[in-house]
Amino acid sequence: MTRALTCPKCRKPMETVRFQEVEVDRCTWCKGIWFDLLEHVALKNRRGSEAVDAGATSERVQALHDDLNQKGEIDCPVCHIRMVRLVDKRQSHIWYEKCQSCSGVFLDAGELTDLKHETMGDVLKDLFTPKRT
């Protein structure tokens, strides 16, 4: 059964995107990605899986990403309860939201690709990124 999800950040419809046997939901507007339980872990370790991440490639999406990245209080698109914001342990400039009920995870556009490929630029970002509260 296909479910129709609404993006927790921009409230636009999400579409199903598939990589191998893993299906995720990607926002048609801001390109953020919703991962059901452990799907983000499965894709993070698969070669080429960043193909599902449309990233913040256009100026419109980049500006939208910068604005939406500041939005910290969002509700789970599945359970409709408030999610918690977490920081990635390896790349502290990446913040994501996780549902404590269904364990789903929401990543902004470009963050899956960023998580997969830690670079010297990421190390520098971490040094100069102000800590969020």
Which sequence spans correspond to the domains of the chain?
Answer: 14-127
What is the pTM assigned to this prediction?
Answer: 0.79
Looking at residue 81, its pLDDT comes to: 96
The pair of three-digit structure tokens given for residue 68, joined into one six-digit string:
């939406």
Closest CA to 32 of 10, 3, 63, 51: 10
Q: What is the pLDDT of residues 66-120, one digit of tens each?
A: 666 666 689 999 999 999 999 988 888 888 999 999 999 999 998 888 888 766 5
Q: How far apart are the C-alpha atoms of 71 and 53, rounded to whole Å?
A: 20
63 CB-contact burial (10 Å; exposed 0-12 / middle 13-18 / buried 19+)? exposed
User: Residue 33 is which amino acid?
Assistant: I
| Residue 5 binned pLDDT confidence (cut-offs 50, 70, 90) | very high
